[in-house]
Structure 1
Amino acid sequence: MIDTALNPAIEPTPIPLGEWLPWAVFGGLLALLALYFVGSEQGATSLFQGMYVHEFVHDGRHLLGFPCH
């Protein structure tokens, strides 16, 4: 009797595709944006003038293996 009281049979319910798909797309876009800023925000493809973004993500570039100098 104690075993059934402590371990109730809870059935997991699946999450519908319509609920998690927008969050997955949003996360993917954020990841691509972060990859752009870490990987290629300098030189000809620069969105911002100066080297502020490059210097901000400089150590992350080396950590991820992007060459920058």
Structure 2
Amino acid sequence: MTYSAISLDTAAAPIPVREILPWAVFAGLLFLIALYFVGVEEGAFSIFNGRYVHEFVHDGRHLLGFPCH
């Protein structure tokens, strides 16, 4: 019976910051958009008419501690 061993001599190559930065900016923008819709999309700052977005993210608002009523 033969066993195959994993070589511990190989190390993971570090990822350069210039390759991570665009993805970090993209993730940050997605986070800010989600935060806007969950936390601010209501009342005077509303982009969309009606309460559809508010009702869609209503439970998320309470989960994250945003007051809404």
Please give the TM-score of this superposition, normalised by the length of structure 2: 0.90
Corresponding residue pairs, total: 67
The 2-side partners of 1:58 and 1:12 are apart by: 43
**Which runs of 5 or more structure 2 residues have no equivalent in the other structure?**
none
SS of aligned partner of 1:27 = helix
The alpha carbon displacement at 1:12 in A equals 1.2
Identical counterparts, % of pairs = 66
Q: Which amino acid aligns with 1:52?
A: Y
Structure 2 counterparts to residues 30-49 of structure 1, below 5 A: 30-49=30-49
The 1-side partners of 2:44 and 2:28 are apart by: 25
The 1-side partners of 2:44 and 2:50 are apart by: 12
The match for 2:11 is 11
Q: Which moved more, 1:6-15 or 1:37-46?
A: 6-15
Q: CA RMSD in A?
A: 1.5
Please give the TM-score of this superposition, normalised by the length of structure 1: 0.90
